């Protein structure tokens, strides 16, 4: 069931999306869902810079980045204990590494509600 707000502990989100228009839409959706800070990276290298310089409550990673994937970014997030979820325009056709197969994922196109549900599913529950 789609949610209308993200968990209260999720205030800062990193978005890795190589399509700038989709990234802007995601930023708007996240703000509407209650996120107060959204950083957008359109490349894997920019995402890695942001992770090194900032702390995030959550990240949303497009799996396919043109000729590359976001798997290295996922590994960096895991190493820092930052929860994340995937988006994909390829449905079930894209094979994930075994250690990332259980990461929640939504398929494009998605709505504000399904984006909120991804975060609610993937983010750890925290006592407020």
pLDDT band at 39 (very low <50, low <70, confident <90, very high): very high
pLDDT above 80 for 88: yes
Domains and CATH numbers, the chain: 12-119 (3.40.50.2300)
pLDDT above 60 for 128: no
Burial of 60 (0-12, 13-18, 19+ CB in 10 A): buried
Q: Which of helix, strand or coil describes residue 59?
A: strand
């Amino acid at each position: 069931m789609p949610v209308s707000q993200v968990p209260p502990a999720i205030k800062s989100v990193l978005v890795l999306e190589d399509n700038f228009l989709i990234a802007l839409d995601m930023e708007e959706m996240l703000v509407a869902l209650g996120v107060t800070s959204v950083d957008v990276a359109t490349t894997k290298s920019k995402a890695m810079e942001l992770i090194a310089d900032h702390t995030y409550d959550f990240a949303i990673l497009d799996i396919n980045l043109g000729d590359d994937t976001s798997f290295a970014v996922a590994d960096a997030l895991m190493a820092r204990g930052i929860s994340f979820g995937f988006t994909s325009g390829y449905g079930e056709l894209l094979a994930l590494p075994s250690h990332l197969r259980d990461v929640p994922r939504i398929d494009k196109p998605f709505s504000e509600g399904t984006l909120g549900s991804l975060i609610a599913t993937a983010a750890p529950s925290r006592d407020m």
